[in-house]
Chains A and B, each alone.
Chain A
Amino acid sequence: MTDTVAQASTVADAKAPPDTMAWDSGLRRLMMIYLPLGCFVLILLFPFHWMAITSFKPNAELMNYKEHNPFWITSPTLAHIKHLLFNTSYPHWLWTTMMVAIGSTTLSLIASTLAAYAIERLRFRGSPYVGLGIYLAYLVPPSILFIPLATVVVQFGLFDSPLALILVYPTFLVPFCTWLLIGYFKSIPYELEECALVDGATRLQILRRITLPLAVPGLISAGIFSFTLSWNEFIYALAFIQSGANKTVPVAILTELVTGDVYQWGALMAGSLLGSLPVAIFYSLFVDYYVSSLTGAVKE
């Protein structure tokens, strides 16, 4: 019924001259904007709902759709999460992942702040080419690097050590952060630095006392983005880490919790939920920075 009405109104609107603003009418708005938006949100969020609901379902409900409505839980249980926290090394994996993410984020923030400052503010001959080179580094995907990198990691004696991940992750973090920070440094007026130069400040003092304080939003964006990317990284962690204790959360769930032919979906989903929570919480605190860094990096 509503469909035909909507169609009729579309036809009417198509015929009406556009300057009447008739297309903004309520029903058409509902059909053209809210309904598709609703579908998008539903589909984009459903896997998370499914993940969360599975983590709290007792096994009996998990495997019986006839008697229990699968979309809801009748008797929620914490058994899967308890199993995960006390019978596996999940807390240890979380800790390792956290350390790796913090370490590589710090390292790449320092490296890329200095590089972006040199490229954008010190303006030496050939600085645009260095910038372009760093940008191109971003286009080299980990999938073509992990095999030779594995041999490099073995050569350095870092195989099976989280330190290898801290050193390797900057290869994709530094290009991104540098690019983002160049954009932020560009937006800081050059006159401020000139004033400081006239007053006799050294270049490093200018960086520390003027440029960096003004670039704090950029640093936060770059920092949270790096943290998320290193938390989510998979292929290097899979290739370079062998012992169960040193694995990061994404790798550990896939290689340590998936055992045998009967998958423990409750525990797997609880692990996925807990592994996603830190980034999700982090994200909810800094949403605007995420969006601006995502779009800023693309627009640059």
Chain B
Amino acid sequence: MSVTTLSSPTLIHRQPNWLVRLFDYKPFLVVMCLAPALGLLAVFLTYPLGLGIWLAFTDTTIGRKGVYVGLENFQYLLTDSLWWNAVFYSVVYTGIATFGKFALGFWLALLLNNHFPFKSLLRAIILLPWIVPTVLSALAFWWIYDPQFSIISYLLVDVLHWRTSNIDFLGSPWPARFSLIAANIWRGIPFVAISLLAGLQTISPSLYEAAMLDGASAWQRFRYITFPMMMPILAIVMTFSIIFTFTDFQLVYAITRGGPGNSTHLLATLAFQRGIAGGELGEGAAIAVSMIPFLVFATLFSYFGLARRKWQQGESND
């Protein structure tokens, strides 16, 4: 169809205009096509990334150009108990939240992989927590965690009579930490479940049939077919999840702002507090840069996950 439109007379008698010829010259066209994307990324991603690393070695503050101070910012951070606190909580937060998201998300994906009525409707509803702006659902959680009018406390105290007093979710360090982790898991389950569901649907049913003929139990089918076949996609989804959980900002900023007593600061919120709110751009940048080694580690994990998939499927490197 499209071919017939193109063989219209205007195209056959096209004038060899120099502009047309220039845009048909492949190297020029490649440059023109890549220019907008690479330009945007260079100016607003690569340059700031480099600038951020440079800022981490200076004592810049808002309104004053800093000078190079070497490793001073990092030396200061190593003696700063708040930074250690943030590192500790970032690791705990990422670890528990990732585990929770993947355990529950995988379970949900397995459930959704069954046949039942209204399946596509259910799949659509389940993605909602991921679609809605995080800050806005975080506000709903803040309200759910309210010390006085928490609906969870109401349920436990007045309906089920399991407790006699309200839970103080955000008032003391550990409950606040776990409340944030729970909110993060809630938000992350849909993404994990839907991505893994897509992976589950690519597993050929004949594998399960063969295993059932050989007398494999449900657990064996999961352990020796589903899980190994899901490894590549699990590795990718997990890398993304780890990177974006470790650098999470919105949930903590919206619900606790790092409190109580700075106990729930993640590295990103600490960087914001020092760099933007406190004006110490150099120190904030140093905190942000201190996240990079972890991210590099996660990216390598993803790369080797991908490489393994290609090797397993005997694919060429395209």
A275 touches B133 (CB 8 A): yes
Kindly supply a per-residue 1/0 record for chain B positions 120-150, scoring 1 wherever the CB is within 8 Å of any chain A CB and 0 otherwise: 1011111111011111110111011010010
Residues from chain B with Cβ under 8 Å of A33 in the complex: 111, 114, 116
**For the complex, what is the distance from the CA of A231 to the CA of B142, rounded to whole Å?**
21
> Interface segment, B36-44, B74-82, B167-175?
B36-44
Residue B307 lies at the interface, judged by CB distance under 8 Å to chain A: no
Report how many residues on chain A are interfacial, defined by Cβ distance under 8 Å.
105
Query: Which B192-248 residues sit within 8 Å CB-CB of chain A?
Result: 194-195, 197-199, 202, 212-213, 215-218, 233, 236-237, 239-240, 243-244, 247-248
Residues from chain A with Cβ under 8 Å of B250 in the complex: 234-235, 250
**For the complex, what is the distance from the CA of A51 to the CA of B144, rounded to whole Å?**
9
A234 touches B29 (CB 8 A): no
Residue A9 lies at the interface, judged by CB distance under 8 Å to chain B: no
B34 touches A145 (CB 8 A): no
- Assuming A48-B128, A122-B26, A283-B131, is B36 touching A70 (CB within 8 A)? no
CB distance from B158 to the nearest CB of A (A): 7
A174 touches B40 (CB 8 A): yes
A171 touches B29 (CB 8 A): no
A209 touches B2 (CB 8 A): yes
Residue B176 lies at the interface, judged by CB distance under 8 Å to chain A: no
CB distance from B244 to the nearest CB of A (A): 6
Residue B3 lies at the interface, judged by CB distance under 8 Å to chain A: yes
Kindly supply a per-residue 1/0 record for chain A positions 178-201, scoring 1 wherever the CB is within 8 Å of any chain B CB and 0 otherwise: 100000000000001001100111
**For the complex, what is the distance from the CA of A115 to the CA of B38, rounded to whole Å?**
8
Kindly supply a per-residue 1/0 record for chain B positions 39-53, scoring 1 wherever the CB is within 8 Å of any chain A CB and 0 otherwise: 011011101110110
**Residue among B37, B104, B247 with max Cβ neighbours from chain A (10 Å):** B37
CB distance from A72 to the nearest CB of B (A): 12
CB distance from A93 to the nearest CB of B (A): 12
Residues from chain B with Cβ under 8 Å of A200 in the complex: 11-12, 14
Please report B residues at the A interface, Cβ cutoff 8 Å.
2-3, 5-7, 11-12, 14, 20, 23-24, 26-27, 29-30, 32-34, 36-38, 40-41, 43-45, 47-49, 51-52, 55, 60, 104, 107-108, 111-112, 114, 116, 120, 122-129, 131-137, 139-141, 143-144, 146, 149, 151, 154, 158, 186, 189-191, 194-195, 197-199, 202, 212-213, 215-218, 233, 236-237, 239-240, 243-244, 247-250, 253-254, 267-268, 271-272, 275-276, 281, 284-285, 288-289, 291-292, 295, 298-299, 302, 318
Please report A residues at the B interface, Cβ cutoff 8 Å.
14, 17-19, 23, 33-34, 36-37, 40-41, 43-45, 47-48, 50-51, 54, 62-63, 65, 70-71, 107-108, 110-112, 114-115, 117-119, 122, 124, 128, 130, 134, 136-137, 139-152, 167-168, 170-171, 174-175, 178, 192, 195-196, 199-205, 209-210, 213, 228, 231-232, 234-235, 238-239, 249-251, 253-254, 265, 268-269, 271-272, 275-276, 279-280, 283-284, 287, 290-291, 294-295, 298-299
Give 10 closest A-B pairs by Cβ, nearest first: A295-B198, A118-B33, A115-B37, A148-B52, A143-B268, A143-B247, A272-B136, A111-B36, A141-B247, A250-B135
